[in-house]
Amino acid sequence: MQDTTVARSYAEALLELAAADGEVELYDREIQIIVDLLRSETDFRLFLETPKIDPGDKKRVIREVFAGKVPDRLLHFLLIVIDKRRARLLPSIADEFSGLVDQHFGRLKVEITTASEPDAAMQASLKRRLGSLLGKDVIPRYRVDARLIGGVIVRVGDSIMDGSIRHRLQLLRRSLLRTELG
Write the CATH number of the domain with boundaries 107-178. 3.30.2320.30
Residues 99 and 13: their CA atoms lie apart, in Å, by 13
Average pLDDT over residues 75-103: 95
Reported CATH class of domain 3-103:
mainly alpha
Distance of CA 178 to the CA centre of its chain: 42
Percent of the chain with pLDDT over 70: 98
Task: Report the DSSP pairing between strands 137-144 and 159-162.
Answer: unpaired
Q: Phi-psi bin for 170: left (phi > 0), alpha (psi -120 to 50), beta?
A: alpha
Instruction: Provide the pLDDT confidence category of residue 107 given band limits of 50, 70 and 90.
Output: very high
Instruction: Provide the pLDDT confidence category of residue 182 given band limits of 50, 70 and 90.
Output: low
pLDDT value at 181 more than 80 = no
pLDDT digits (tens, 9 = 90+) for 139-155: 999 999 998 888 899 99
Domain ranges of the chain: 3-103, 107-178
Residues 180 and 56: their CA atoms lie apart, in Å, by 76
The number of residues in the chain equals 182
C-beta of residue 21 within 8 angstroms of C-beta of residue 27? yes
Q: CA dihedral defined by 52, 58, 60, 64, rounded to 10 degrees? A: 140
pLDDT value at 170 more than 80 = yes
Instruction: Provide the pLDDT confidence category of residue 47 given band limits of 50, 70 and 90.
Output: very high
SS (H, E, C) 41-56: CHHHHHHHHCCCCCHH
